[in-house]
């Protein structure tokens, strides 16, 4: 029995039953032997990842989940690698998929559906504010935790802002047909934000109706329905929800309802309770750094081999011709935030930021590798507050994120 138990252990996690199987990965329930906490571990075979040319997609998922830290988004806890496998350790949502809720219990009432829709919109708004577009929003990718709160998952098809082409649009056709907007099907480029909003509208319709607004066994007929937004409201839909969904499920992305407009909608605002959280919600920075560090703690027990002396990014990067730089070199125009990479150590980065801002009259507060810079002198819009955070992407590469927390945007540009 002791041998059998050893075989089921990965690092500090004891593996349990398989809770999900996909084409390229399976997900197993696991328990943290140090804390007793249950987690979900996505296990990918390195050979299969390379064979199907998926390194960039896996890298994107890891990179995206490190950027998105929101109470309604599944947390990335740790990444480990062995010679043959990649292990992505995720928060475990005990309530399972929201899809199963509809399958087992049927449609929801407006109050319950609105609560989930609130959480979805705030999560997606946060993703978009970080330059991340999910691109595969559907009920199967919305999980529920033990408290009944929604958790957005599966960022495998997500796109970062720097993936936009010169025309400012995304050009990869992806997603689940019933949830994708008309502009994605046209394959002429699309804006990620309104595309995600269309999917949110399909999700809300399905929660309230118990079935999809666009569905047909024939793919051509399905695409025609989506292209013209050809759907019918059930008799029990209220006027407020009809008005909202008509604007969200607009086949023209230019006139489609935006998140800011949804936040002001009368039906949406009824019972609205925006999430309150700080940037430290998800994982401690110690865990964040450890996620990309291979150590003796990350051992594969039993018949599994010892982990290779390289982190998951290097492991996936063995695919020839894969340029990882574009995923993290995010030197771009910014309004309220910007990110850039550095080969300096984390401590050196913190020291240099401190040296650059102290002479400018900033009061500096540090905690681990996070900084809050507060200008003592008031500017055009009060005191300028700037937050800075250092993320470890790989042992020799760090990403620095700088955000305006308060004050004038022009002054923020000048300081940067």
Question: How far is Cα 67 from Cα 374, in angstroms, rounded to an integer?
Answer: 23
Instruction: Please state the pTM of the whole predicted model.
Output: 0.63
Residues 354 and 299 placed together within one structural domain of the fold:
no
Residue 279 included in any domain: no
Contacts of 228 (CB under 8 A, 6+ apart): 251
| Alpha helices for 167-264 (secondary structure H) | 182-186, 192-209, 219-227, 239-248, 259-263
Residue 175 included in any domain: yes
68 vs 327, higher pLDDT: 68
Residues 124 and 107 placed together within one structural domain of the fold:
yes
Distance of alpha carbon 213 from its chain centroid, rounded?
26
pLDDT tens profile 156-212: 544 433 333 343 333 344 447 889 898 888 776 667 889 999 999 999 999 999 999
Catalytic residue among 125, 136, 191, 250: 136
Distance of alpha carbon 5 from its chain centroid, rounded?
33
Among the candidates 316, 351, 385, a domain finishes at 316
Residue 205 included in any domain: yes
pLDDT tens profile 389-413: 887 766 667 778 888 877 777 777 7
Selection from 8-12, 44-48, 313-317 with the highest mean pLDDT: 8-12
Residues 122 and 8 placed together within one structural domain of the fold:
no
Q: Is the dihedral of CA 94, 97, 98, 104 positive or negative?
A: negative
278 vs 357, higher pLDDT: 357
Mean pLDDT across 51-73: 75
Residues 189 and 311 placed together within one structural domain of the fold:
no
Q: Which domain holds residue 199?
A: 96-269
Residues 308 and 256 placed together within one structural domain of the fold:
no
pLDDT of residue 163: 38
Residues above pLDDT 70, as percent of the chain: 74
Residues 147 and 259 placed together within one structural domain of the fold:
yes
Residue 178 included in any domain: yes
Mean pLDDT across 45-61: 74
374 vs 251, higher pLDDT: 251
CATH of the domain at 105: 1.10.510.10
On the question of pLDDT at 258 being above 90, the answer is yes
Q: Check the annotation: does 243 bind a ligand.
A: no
CATH of the domain at 308: 3.30.200.20
Residue 132 included in any domain: yes
Residues 114 and 247 placed together within one structural domain of the fold:
yes
pLDDT of residue 205: 97
Closest to 249 (Cα-Cα) out of 316, 182, 294, 304: 182
**136 among known catalytic residues:** yes
Q: What is the CA radius of gyration of the chain?
A: 22
Residues 154 and 232 placed together within one structural domain of the fold:
yes
Residues 104 and 161 placed together within one structural domain of the fold:
yes
Residue 281 included in any domain: no
Residues 247 and 307 placed together within one structural domain of the fold:
no
Residue 21 included in any domain: yes
Mean pLDDT across 284-303: 36
pLDDT of residue 244: 97
Structure tokens at 6: 């050893």
Closest to 112 (Cα-Cα) out of 196, 182, 204: 204
Residue 168 included in any domain: yes
Number of domains, the chain: 3
The mean-pLDDT minimum among 3-7, 277-281, 309-313 falls in 309-313
Question: Are the C-beta atoms of 82 and 307 separated by less than 8 Å?
Answer: yes
Residues 180 and 113 placed together within one structural domain of the fold:
yes
Closest to 243 (Cα-Cα) out of 204, 190, 196, 191: 204
Residues 161 and 255 placed together within one structural domain of the fold:
yes
Closest to 414 (Cα-Cα) out of 369, 370, 362: 362
């Amino acid at each position: 029995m002791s041998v059998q138990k050893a075989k089921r252990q990965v690092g500090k996690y004891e593996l349990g039953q398989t809770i999900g199987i996909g084409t390229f990965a399976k997900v197993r329930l696991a328990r943290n032997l140090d804390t007793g906490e249950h987690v979900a571990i996505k296990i990918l075979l390195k050979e299969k990842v390379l064979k199907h040319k998926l390194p960039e997609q896996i890298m994107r998922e890891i990179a995206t989940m490190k950027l998105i830290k929101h109470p309604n988004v599944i947390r990335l806890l740790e990444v480990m690698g062995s010679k043959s496998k990649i292990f992505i350790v995720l928060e475990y949502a005990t309530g399972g998929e929201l899809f199963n809720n509809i399958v087992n219990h049927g449609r929801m009432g407006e109050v319950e559906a609105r609560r989930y829709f609130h959480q979805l919109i705030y999560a997606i708004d946060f993703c978009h504010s970080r330059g991340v577009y999910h691109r595969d929003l559907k009920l199967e990718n919305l999980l529920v935790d033990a408290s009944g709160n929604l958790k957005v998952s599966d960022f495998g098809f997500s796109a970062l802002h720097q993936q936009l082409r010169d025309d400012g649009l995304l050009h990869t056709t992806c997603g689940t047909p019933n949830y994708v907007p008309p502009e994605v099907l046209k394959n002429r480029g699309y804006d990620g934000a309104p595309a995600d909003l269309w999917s949110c509208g399909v999700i809300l319709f399905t929660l309230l109706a118990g079935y999809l607004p666009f569905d047909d066994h024939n793919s051509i007929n399905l695409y025609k329905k989506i292209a013209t937004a050809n759907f019918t409201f059930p008799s029990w839909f209220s006027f407020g929800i009809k008005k909202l969904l008509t604007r969200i499920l607009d086949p023209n992305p230019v006139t489609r309802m935006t998140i800011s407009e949804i936040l002001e909608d009368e039906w949406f605002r009824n019972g609205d309770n925006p999430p309150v959280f700080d940037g430290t919600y998800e994982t401690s920075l110690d865990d964040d750094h450890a996620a990309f560090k291979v150590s003796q703690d990350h051992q594969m027990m039993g018949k599994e081999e010892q982990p290779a002396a390289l982190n998951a990014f290097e492991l996936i990067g063995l695919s020839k011709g894969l340029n990882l730089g574009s995923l993290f070199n995010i030197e771009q125009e910014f309004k309220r935030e910007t990110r850039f990479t550095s080969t300096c150590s984390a401590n050196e980065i913190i020291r240099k930021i401190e040296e650059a801002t102290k002479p400018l009259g900033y009061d500096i507060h540090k905690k681990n590798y996070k900084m809050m810079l507060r200008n003592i002198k008031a500017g055009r819009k009060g005191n300028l507050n700037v937050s800075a955070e250092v993320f470890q992407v790989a042992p020799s590469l760090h990403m620095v994120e700088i955000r305006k927390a308060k004050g004038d945007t022009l002054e923020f540009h000048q300081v940067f």
